[in-house]
Amino acid sequence: MTQTAAATWTLSGFGDEIDPDPAVQAAVLLALGASHIEVRSAWGTNVVDLDEVQTAKLKDILDGAGLKVSAVASPIGKVDISLPAADEVARLRRIIEVAKALDTTYIRIFSFFRSAGQTPEEIRDAVMERMTLLAAEAERAGVVLLHENEKDIYGDTPERVLDLMETVNSPALRAAWDNANFVQVGVKPFTDAYAQLRPYLEYLQVKDAIAGSGEVVPAGRGDGELEETLTALRNDGYTGFASLEPHLAAQHELGGFSGPQAFGEAARAFAELTGRIGVSLR
C-alpha cells in the first residue's frame, strides 16, 4: 500500500458570508477551527470603501480575537472594461493601503466584464493593458494579486486565465482557484484546467456547484471535482490557504452570503473531504 505524505493547509473564510459584524465573523471562524479570515467587507462596507478609522478598528477586533488576514477580497476588475484604466489603478492603491494595514500581501481581483454583444477576443487587449498596469502597481507595493476565475469576466475559462498569466507575466499576478466558478461556465475543473494552471495556482477558494443548474453547494456535493483537485494539490505539495466562500444563501455582483449555520455546514463538508485525503487544516 502506497502511503501519501501528510499535508497541512491554512483554513480561512470570507467573514462577511457569516455576518456583517466582524466580531461575529471572527467568533464563528474561530469556532470552526480557522486561524485566518478573508476580508471582503465589514459592517456592510466593502474593503475599497473602508476609511482609515474603520480599518484600524477592524484590525483591533481581529487582533483581539487572535485571527489573521489571509487576503483582502477586493472588487478590483469586477467592472465593465469600458471604464477608464486609471480608475481601477486608483482603487487598487487604496486597497493596497487596507491590505498593508491588515498585514496581508494577498489581494483578490478580477479581469473585467464586457458589454452585451462583445466577445472575449474583442476586449482582450484592453484587459491585458489594465491587468499589466495593476500588476505593476502591485509589484511596486510588494503585494500579490490573486485573479479569481469569476464567471462572465475575461478570465473565466482555463485558456483565458492561462492567457492572462502568460501575457502579463508578473510575479505579482497569480491565480485564486475556484472550482465552483469553473463549473458555472461549463468547465470540469480538475479534468480541464488543473494541469495547465497549477504553476500559477497560489490560493484556493472553496465552494462547489451543480453543473446543470449552476447552484452553489458545499464542497464535494457538486460537479466541481473537489476531491480530485484537493488530492492533486496535496500530492503537489500545496501548503497555502483554503478559503471558504460558500455562497449558500445568496449571491450577488459583489459577493454572497451564507449565514453562520450554512457557513458551518460548508466548513464541515470541506473538513470531511480534506480529512479523507489526509490533509490537516489549521
Q: How far is CA 201 from CA 44, 99, 175, 205, in A?
A: 30, 20, 5, 11
Residue 120, H or E segment: helix 120-141
Query: What is the structure's pLDDT at 260?
Result: 86
Structural domain contains residue 1: no
Q: What is the pLDDT of residue 256?
A: 57
State how far the Cα of 41 lies from the Cα of 39, in Å rounded to an integer. 6
Task: Give domain status of residue 199, yes or no.
Answer: yes
State residue 246's pLDDT score.
87
Number of domains in the chain: 1
Q: Is 128 domain-assigned?
A: yes
The answer to the question of residue 94 being in a domain is yes
Q: The domain that contains 205 carries what CATH number?
A: 3.20.20.150
Residue 119 belongs to some domain of the structure: yes
Contacts of 168 (CB under 8 A, 6+ apart): 128, 131, 132, 135
pLDDT value at residue 249? 59
| Nearest residue to 177 via CA among 208, 212, 141 | 208
- Looking at residue 2, its pLDDT comes to 44
**Residue 2: inside a domain, yes or no?**
no
pLDDT at residue 3, as a whole number: 46
* Domain span holding position 76: 7-281
181 neighbors 152 (Cβ within 8 angstroms): no
pTM as predicted: 0.94
Q: Could you read off the pLDDT tens digit of each residue along the chain, which spans 282 residues? A: 344 567 999 999 999 999 999 999 999 999 999 999 999 999 999 999 999 999 999 999 999 999 999 999 999 999 999 999 999 999 999 999 999 999 999 999 999 999 999 999 999 999 999 999 999 999 999 999 999 999 999 999 999 999 999 999 999 999 999 999 999 999 999 999 999 999 999 999 999 999 999 999 999 999 999 999 999 999 999 999 999 998 665 554 545 557 788 899 999 999 999 999 999 999
Q: What is the pLDDT of residue 112?
A: 98
